[in-house]
Amino acid sequence: MVSDESLIQDYIETNEYTETAEHIMRLQKAQAVAFIADAWELTLVPCV
């Protein structure tokens, strides 16, 4: 039988991993948005 402590430990580790993964995804999304914005500006410059 699995003890409560190991279940709690697993939960904490999973939670921390999820938070880290979400943080990385947010950073990647922010970088992607910045990249698209830069590319958009570059495409607009010749038109102006």
The pLDDT score that the predictor gives to residue 25 is: 92
Whether residue 44 has pLDDT greater than 80: no
The pLDDT score that the predictor gives to residue 47 is: 59
pTM: 0.52
The pLDDT score that the predictor gives to residue 31 is: 94
Whether residue 22 has pLDDT greater than 70: yes
b/e for 8-20, b at 16 or more Cβ within 10 A?
eeeeeeeeeeeee
d(CA 9, CA 3): 10
The pLDDT score that the predictor gives to residue 2 is: 63
d(CA 43, CA 38): 9
Whether residue 3 has pLDDT greater than 60: yes
